[in-house]
Structure 1
C-alpha cells in the first residue's frame, strides 16, 4: 500500500538520521579523547605541582593508566562514559566529575533556557511581521537593526550593557556571582544582563531567516489564490505563510540554539557567571583532564542532539521530505 510504504520510508529516513548522529558522537568522542591526551606536558606532574617527587608522579601516572596503550585507554574511557561515569577530578578534593559539574551545568541550562524562551518568540514575531509588511517602516527598521547587530560580537554588547545599566544607571549588578548551590532563578537580577546580551546578539540571525522565509511563502501561487478567493489576510499569514515557512524556521532555531552553546561560554566569562564556561576555564588552568573531557563531550552531544531534533522535526513538517521518503 502507498501509505504504508510512505510511512516505512519516513521511519527509515528518521532512523538514518539517528544512526548518523550516533556515528558522529562516536567520532567526536575519539577526537575529544585524542585532543586531551596530546596536550603538552605531563598531566600527572601538572596536577601534583612543582614540589611533587618523581615517585608521586610515577604513582599518579600508574593510577591514571597513562602508561597503557592509547586504544586501551580510549575504550576504557568510552565504556565509562556510556555507563554515565565521567571519572574523577584530578584537582582539589578529587570529587566525581558528575558531582563537580552538576551545578555549573544547571546554571548554564537555566541561562540558555531563559534566553531561548525569550529570544525565539520575539525573533519569530518580528521576523514574521517584517516579512508580511515587506518594505514598510517596521521591515526597514528590523532589517537595519538586525544587520547592525550581526556585526557586533557578544562581549562588546555585554560590555555596553554593563556600562549602561550597571555603571551609568546602576540598576543591575555588573557581575552574576550566584553563590554555591543557589538556583539562578531565585536571583533573577543576576540573569538579566547575561540573558539580554545573548538575546541582542542572537536575535538578528533568526529574525533575518524568518523574514526571508515568510516573504518567500507570501509570494507563492497558493497565497495569491487565497487572496483572490477572499481569504482574510490574517488567516493567510497563519494558515499558509507561517505553516510553509516552518522547515527553514526550525533549522534557523536549531542554528541559534547551537550558536547559543558557544555564546553562553563567552557571556559566562564576561559576567563571572558560575556556569560550564567558567568551569571549563578553571579546568584548563589546572589541567583537570577528566573535567575538560566531560564538558567537551557534553557540549558536543548537545550540538548533535539539537541538530538531530531539528532534522527530525523538519522531516515531519516538510511535505517535500515526506514525499521523498
Structure 2
C-alpha cells in the first residue's frame, strides 16, 4: 500500500514539477529584456547585442531552449549561468547549502518546541501556563515576518549588541563555527511556523484526553507516562504532522524575509539575483530542486501522518 502511495505521489509530483517549470520559463520570457540586454551596456551597438544574444544561445527558439535544458537535466547537466558563465551547479551549490542548514536547524528546533508547548498547554487547558503559551503563539502568528526580523535587528542586535545584525562577509563555515549568527534568523523562522503547530497540538491533546478510551486506560491502571506516550501523543500529533506538510509556504516566505533582512547568502537571494539577471538556467534549476524537495518532504510527512492516524484502544 505504501509503495503504491509513494509511486502515485512521485508520478503526480513529476507532472506538477514539469508544469511549474514550464510556467516559470514562460513567465520569465514575459520579463522586459533578456540576459543579453542586462549584460549589454549603453554603448553596445545592435550588432554587439545580437552577438551577445548568439553567444548565450538566446537566438534559439524558446521551446527548443527549454527542451534542451530538460534533456541536460536528465543527464545531470543543469546548464551554464548566463550571468557568470559558470556551471549552474556551482552557482547554486553554496546558497543551497546555506538554506539547507537554516531549514534543517529550523525543523530540529521547531518540532520539540511546538510539541512541548502544545502538550504543556493542552494538559492543563485554562491554566496560567495554557494562557501564556496560547498568547505567545497567537502573538508570533499575527506579527509579520519582516516586522519581527526588523525588531530583532533593531533592539537585540543593534540595541543590545547580543548577536550579529547581518551576514555580510560571512560564509557557511563561519556560520557553523560561530552559531551566534544563526540565533536571530532561526528565531524568526521558528516563530513563524511554530505558532499554528502549537495550537494544533494543544487542541489535539485536549480532544484526545476527553475520549472515553483514555478514561478507560486510566481505570485499567495505565501509568501517566505510558498513557501520554503510547495513546495521547500519537493521536494528538497526527493533525499537527499533516499541518507541518502545509507549512512549506510559511517556510519559503520566512526564508525570503530572513535572507533579505539579515543579508543571508542563501538560495532565495540567489533566485532574486537570477531573476534580475534574466538567468533562466539558474532560475529553472532552483525551481526544479525546490520543487523536488517539497514533494519528497510532503510525501514523507504524509507517510508519517498515516502511521499516526488516531486509533482507539479497545476496552
User: How far apart, in 1, do the equivalents of 2:17 and 2:203 lie?
Assistant: 33
Question: Which residue of the other structure, out of 178, 189, 192, is the alignment partner of 2:183?
Answer: 192
Distance between the aligned counterparts of 2:164 and 2:227, measured in 1?
A: 45
Count of equivalent residues: 311
Runs of at least 5 residues in structure 1 that lack an aligned partner in the other structure? 1-8, 321-325
The CA deviation at 1:150 is 1.1
User: What is the CA distance between 1:193 and its match in structure 2?
Assistant: 1.2
Change (3 A) 1:310 1:178: farther
- Which stretches of structure 1, 4 residues or longer, exceed 4 Å deviation after superposition? none
Say whether residues 1:259 and 2:250 are aligned partners. yes
How far residue 182 of structure 1 moved from its aligned partner, in angstroms, is 3.4
Alpha-carbon distance in structure 2 between the residues aligned to 1:312 and 1:63: 47
The range that moved more, 272-281 or 311-320, is 311-320
Equivalents in 1 of 2:180, 2:234: separation in Å? Answer: 37
- Give the C-alpha shift of residue 229 in structure 1: 2.0
User: Does the alignment pair 1:312 with 2:309?
Assistant: no
Q: Give the 5 Å matches for 1:69-218.
A: 69-92=61-84, 94-180=85-171, 182-218=173-209
TM-score in terms of structure 1 length = 0.88
Partner of 1:41: 33
| Unaligned residue ranges in structure 2 (runs of 5+) | none
Aligned equivalents of 1:77, 1:17: Cα separation in 2: 24
Shift of 1:228: 2.3
1:237-296 CA deviation, whole Å, 9 max, x = no partner?
A: 111111123421221222335521331121011001111122222223333222222223
Post-superposition Cα deviations, 1:55-76, rounded to whole Å, max 9, x if no partner, equal: 2322333344434444322211
Q: Taking structure 1 as reference, are residues 281 and 10 closer, same or farther at Cα in structure 2, changes over 3 Å only?
A: closer
Choose the corresponding residue for 2:280, options 280, 283, 289: 289
Residue 23 in structure 1 maps to residue 15 in structure 2: yes
Q: Is the 8 A contact 2:35 2:82 kept in 1?
A: no
Query: What TM-score does the superposition give when structure 2 sets the normalisation length?
Result: 0.90
Q: In the superposition, relative to structure 1, how do residues 90 and 179 fare at CA in structure 2: closer, same or farther (>3 Å)?
A: same
RMSD of aligned alpha carbons: 2.1
